[in-house]
Structure 1
């Protein structure tokens, strides 16, 4: 059993309340110490009392931490052992888990530079850089402590929050109890690289403790479904990363055959578990033909254990997989099941099941069905007419647009509920340094202040 204590300002904290972490076959692999709310409040108060490290020290420490995340040993695990265990507990295919963990390392190294595109061109990050007698803007933090409720579907989510450290925040991380390994390893790497114990803490906890992190921190980042959006969506101090409901749209002049590979990759890449995976495809034209072609491609994916290097599909405990299949069946009423709920569960014989892809053809762009997002390759295909406008495309993290219609592109980019628009053969899970995810995190963390110094 791997011991995962809380990581707090005075080192490690082991509580009497423990939670056993199992892999998707139900095998216990780690024990997590759960920090109580009062302890969390005291921890964050201690973080608030220190000042930020100088910018050059933060920059250097982040560069070292990215390397330490890969090269060091944490909780008795080297990098490959950590990847294997993260894959086992999350159900993410091991090759995807490894690639995402390496992405985290690169994101941490680049964190200081990644926040710079969000800085207004008229603002400087340090008042000392303002020439005497000049009036201008200072880019300033909106708080001191940043709380994070991390998700457990993939290591890659941990590539974002270190940007808060780059900006001088202290960070309090609540790991997912589904996959707490990545956050632990990253906090250990950051401390090894030069961040103080007070700069970044690791606070496994229950729901009461999670609420305490939100209330004690100045600002917070949370991940979750519609319930999380409903709970925190109206709170201006909380940045909510909810369901992606990522979509692809093809207009009539497009030959979908030319784009089939990108469409299928957008659905099944990253195990189909990410908010940037395509879950709905709208077609101005032959929707049935495209749906059948997608189903044929996805049907060829072999169901394998997540620790098989060839695995593409995610795994879940068998009972969870069966519950997901029942949910798909209920939501699919009235659709044409090209790969239906009855074939989703691939029992691997050891308590785990791989989740085979699901493809359903709709008679029209039903918002409820098109908004269904599940942690495996599951896509809803519907006919769509340009004359109907973009209502069916709203509330999307990413829209992949295959179109020559510049007017449609303008409408998509002007729509406030669409976060990102990728035109042409770009997978919807594409990311790059300087490319916002759901806006820049620094847009939320920072503000500009007027500054004048004379005399």
Structure 2
């Protein structure tokens, strides 16, 4: 191991290395990075600089975003080339290398297509500029709700940083508070954005403690916060904050469909990227006996090997051994009374170096209303439950994604109409399917923008 990677704040006057530094260890407990934490005054001054700054022209922003994505994905940024960055993120977060590479490609693609994705949210009756010919007879113009957007990022997966660059495409100045679990991805991305042409008063990186994080949100016009259900509940009534909470992605298989022909999709939905993503399936509902599906799914997931995260073949997330044991014990307590097809004795895969994988778990529930079906854990853990027509849509609510393997069009109409199901995948499409221009949890532009009537001579 070399010297720890320095991760400074990136303020409006450039990199800032504070006296208050947070040591970050890798999954084996070895020092890997030092994160500079900034005080409230630094945050306030940085936010004030963002508010004072002018917005660059659209074409300049979009070209800089595309350049930044390529630099982020393949270049040397802040002293780290692409391979060194990916290896460091693996060791820091325990995310498998394949998952890091998938995230890198997602970020590269999202920056290249940021305008396409952002404009997909624009109402068909609105134009993007008051100078458009339509304004001579009166039209709607799509405008920002503010000027400064703050992001309190998550550290569960690097791909969370594929979304917020859309705000730059729309002309916002952006402040990012990185997760203290994995700050390297936003540091690399903000550094790449600056190297590509964005000014230091356009995008900043502000690592803080939890108390100071409130200053960031308070002094922005709009904010986005990642977290658990408590975070969602805290900000649910605040129109200036967009909470991004648990995914609770689900799969439904009705009696008119053969689950055997979709087993690959179901297993992939559960295990992709180690099961840590908000779009990875955590519950499967089966019309009829769920036992055969649970048994086949357990047999498939049991073949996944234990590997360190930087191994090319790694699939499972890796944690310090003590943390893995804590999560395993939590699962066993939560699963009390269920039928364990896999993981019934624990899910710790000891790698022998102070780290452990979190192995897959498959538990069968007695009925569709069992409370465990809403439990989301940061590894491939799935609850398989029977589903009935009487249970209907109710047990499928509060899902970021629902993959519905069914031929029942009336049921599909009801699922599409259910407000708490954010995304509906019909047929054999994995829960983690995403594409540029297609909303993830609605369009970010729906939150950042509004329409304003304009008529001119």
Q: TM-score range by the shorter chain?
A: over 0.9
Q: TM-score, normalised by structure 1?
A: 0.98
Match of 2:243 in 1: 240
Q: Distance in 2 between matches of 1:333 and 1:407?
A: 36
Please state how far the C-alpha of 1:41 moved relative to its aligned partner.
1.2
Alignment correspondent of 1:149 = 152
Deviation, structure 1 residue 366: 3.0
Higher mean displacement: 442-451 or 100-109: 100-109
Aligned match for 1:433, one of 427, 436, 449: 436
Task: Give the SS at the match of 1:401.
Answer: strand
Distance 2:90 2:159 in 1: 13
Q: Quote how far apart the aligned CAs of 1:39 are.
A: 1.1
Match among 11, 14, 26 for residue 11 of structure 1 = 14
Matching residue of 1:195: 198
For 1:333, the equivalent position in structure 2 comes to 336
2:424 aligned to which of 421, 425, 447: 421
Equivalent residue number for residue 273 of structure 1: 276
CA distance in 2, matches of 1:75, 1:20: 19
2:224 to 221, 224, 230: 221
Q: Which residue of 1 aligns with 2:94?
A: 91
Identify which of 393, 396, 414 aligns with 1:393. 396
- 2:76 paired residue number: 73
Contact 1:7 1:202 in 2 (8 A): yes
Deviations 1:80-104 (A, max 9, x none): 1000111111111111111211211
**Corresponding residue number in structure 2 for 1:119:** 122
In the aligned structure 2, how far is the partner of 1:224 from the partner of 1:261? Answer: 30
2:287 matches 1:284: yes
* 2:36 alignment partner in structure 1: 33
Secondary structure of the 1:127 match is coil
Instruction: Report Cα offsets for 1:57-90 as digits up to 9, x if no partner.
Output: 1111111111111233223210110001111111
Shift of 1:131: 4.4
Task: Please give the secondary structure, in 1, of the residue aligned with 2:383.
Answer: strand
Q: Does 1:412 align with 2:415?
A: yes
Q: 3-state SS of the aligned residue for 1:138?
A: strand
Q: Which sections of structure 1, spanning at least 5 residues, go unmatched?
A: none
1:62, 1:112 within 8 Å by CA — same for their partners in 2?
A: no
SS in 1 for 2:271: helix
Q: CA deviation at 1:114?
A: 1.1
Whether the 8 Å contact between 2:26 and 2:92 is mirrored in structure 1 is yes
Separation in 2, partners of 1:54, 1:243: 36
- Are 1:257 and 2:279 matched, yes or no? no
Alpha-carbon offset, residue 273 of structure 1: 0.5
Taking structure 1 as reference, are residues 367 and 451 closer, same or farther at Cα in structure 2, changes over 3 Å only?
farther
* 1:150-169 map, 5 Å: 150-169=153-172
- Superposed displacement of residue 384, structure 1: 0.7
Checking the alignment, whether the CA contact within 8 Å between 2:366 and 2:385 is kept in structure 1 is yes
Residue 50 (structure 2) pairs with residue 51 (structure 1)? no
Q: Matches of 1:172 and 1:100 in 2, distance apart?
A: 21
Q: Does 1:445 align with 2:451?
A: no
Compared with structure 1, are the counterparts of its residues 131 and 437 closer, same or farther at alpha carbon in structure 2 (3 Å cutoff)?
closer
The Cα of 1:355 is off from its aligned counterpart by 0.6
Structure-2 separation of matches of 1:164 and 1:324: 35
C-alpha deviation, 1:230, in angstroms: 2.1
The CA deviation string for residues 328-383 of structure 1, in whole angstroms up to 9 with x for no partner, is 11111110011134230011111110011010000102352011001100000000
Task: Find the residue that maps to 2:431 and give its secondary structure.
Answer: coil
- Gaps in structure 2 of 5+ consecutive residues: none
What's the CA shift string for 1:392-429, capped at 9, x where partnerless?
00000000000000011111110010000000111100
| 1:61 and 2:48 matched | no
Give the 4+ runs in structure 1 shifted more than 6 A: none
Provide the rounded CA distance (Å) in 1 between the counterparts of 2:136 and 2:328: 67
Distance in 2 between residues matched to 1:12 and 1:250, nearest whole Å: 52
Secondary structure of 1:387's partner?
coil
CA offsets per residue over residues 249-296 of structure 1, 9 Å max, x none? Answer: 011111111111100000001111000000000000220110011000
Q: In the alignment, what sits opposite 2:383?
A: 380
Count of equivalent residues: 454
1:186 CA drift (Å): 0.4
Q: Which moves more between the two structures, 444-453 or 70-79?
A: 70-79
Report how far residue 229 of structure 1 moved.
Answer: 1.2
1:324 corresponds, among 323, 327, 331, to: 327
Shift of residue 42, structure 1, vs aligned partner: 1.2
> 8 Å contact 1:278–1:379 — kept in the other structure?
yes
> Which residue in the other structure is 1:350 paired with?
353
